Amino acid sequence: MRKVIAIALLCALLLTSLAAFSSCGGMKRYSHTDVTVFDTQTVILGYDKSEEEFQKKAELIMERLTFYHELYDIYYNYEGKNNLKTVNDNAGKFPVEVDGAIIDLLEYCIDMYELTDGKTNVAMGSVLEIWHRYRTEGIADPERAALPKMKELQAAAEHCSIDDVVIDREKKTVYLKDCEMSLDVGAVAKGYATQMVAEYIEEQGFSGFALSVGGNVKCIGERADGKKWEIGVQNPDLSAESAYFTKVYLTDQSLVTSGVYQRFYTVNGKEYHHIIDPDTLMPKREFASVSVITDHSGLADALSTALFNMTLEEGEKLVESLEGTVAVWVYENGEVRRAKGFEKMEKQ
C-alpha cells in the first residue's frame, strides 16, 4: 500500500511540474498511465502537437516496456518465450537459449555486482524467495507473521554465487550451474529496462519525455519550455506533512529511490522491509531511503540498493568515484545526508 501511495505522489508531482505550462510553441501537455508491466504503475509524460500523436508514442513506449517485462519476469511464463523464469526453472539441468536482451541484462548485473562489491547480487534469488514467502504470508495473516529462520536463510545463501551464472553470448544461452540457485533481478531490471526504452525512443527521434516506471524516473531531453524536469524525492516518512523532502531538476538523467516504505511486513510490532543485506541476510536498519541520480537508470537502480546496504562512508566513497553520480541518504530518524554535488541538483 505504501508503495502505491508513494508512486501516486511522485506522479502527481511530475504532473504538477508540467501544469505550469499547458502549452508551448503549439505543443500541449499529455500523460499516459499504465499498470500492466513490472507489477507497478508506469506514467509517461510529455508534449506533442496532438493527443493522437502523443498516444502513438506512448503505445510504442509501452510495447517496449512490455517486451522487457516479459523477458525479465521470474514469476510467469509467456507463450513462445524463454524468460528468466525459464532460466530459473532449468537451473542445474541445461543451458536455456534466450533473447539477447536477457544476456545484456545479466552481463550488466554482473558488472553491478563487481562495482558494488557484491552488495547488489541478482544471484540471491534463493534467499529473496524465502523473504518473499514470509512477507506474503505475514501480510495475508498478520497475527501469524513470522521471520525466516536464520538456518533456512544460511542454507539458501550457499546457492547465491554469481560465478554459477554461465553466459554464452555466441550460443545465446544462460545456464545456472547450481540446481538450487535462482535469479532475482528486482534490484536492477526496472531501471535497466527503463534506460533501454529511453535509448530506444531517442533513436526514434522522441524527446521531451519523462518516464516513471514504479518510481524509476528517467528524463529524456528537456521540457517543452526548455526547462529541466522537476522531480520530487520521496519522503520515506509517509505520515510527514510533505510527501517530498526535496525536489531535483533533471535533464537526460535518472532518479531512483530504494526505501523501507515500498514493501514491508510487520512481526511483533516491528517492520521488516524487502531490501536484504547479502552479508547478514536480514533487512538493514539504518537508512529509511537512499536516492541516486545518474545518467543511466540501470546504474541508479543497482546503486540505490547497494548504497542502502553499505555504511555511509562506503557509499559516499563509491558515489564520488562515479562521474555524474550523486546520492542522498535519509536515516530512520529523519536525518538527511547529501553526497557532494547533490545540492546542485536541487537548483533549477
The one-digit pLDDT tens for each residue of the chain (348 residues) are: 333 334 443 443 454 444 434 555 577 889 999 999 999 999 999 988 899 999 999 999 999 999 999 999 999 999 999 999 999 999 999 999 999 999 999 999 999 999 999 999 999 999 999 999 999 999 999 999 999 999 999 999 999 999 999 999 999 999 999 999 999 999 999 999 999 999 999 999 988 999 999 889 999 998 988 999 999 998 887 677 777 889 999 999 999 999 887 788 999 999 999 999 999 999 998 999 999 999 999 999 999 999 999 999 999 999 999 999 999 999 999 999 999 999 999 988
Asked if 178 contacts 156 with a C-beta cutoff of 8 angstroms, the reply is no
CB atoms within 10 A of CB 22: 10
Measured distance CA(218)–CA(229) in Å, rounded: 10
Measured distance CA(106)–CA(244) in Å, rounded: 33
Q: Which three cell numbers stand for residue 279?
A: 552479508
Q: Which H helix or E strand runs over 267?
A: strand 264-267
Q: Which three cell numbers stand for residue 246?
A: 526535496
Q: Where are the domains of the chain?
A: 84-176
CB atoms within 10 A of CB 25: 9
76 burial (CB, 10 Å; 0-12 / 13-18 / 19+) is exposed
Phi first, then psi: what are they for 257, rounded to 5°? Answer: -120, 135
Q: Helix 51-72 vs helix 189-203: angle between axes, to the nearest 10 degrees?
A: 140
Asked if 230 contacts 251 with a C-beta cutoff of 8 angstroms, the reply is no
Full-model pTM: 0.92
- Range 251-261 burial, b when 16+ CB lie within 10 A, else e: eebbbbbbbbb
- CATH 1.10.3980.10: does it fit domain 84-176? yes
Asked if 94 contacts 173 with a C-beta cutoff of 8 angstroms, the reply is no
Cα–chain center distance at 142: 27
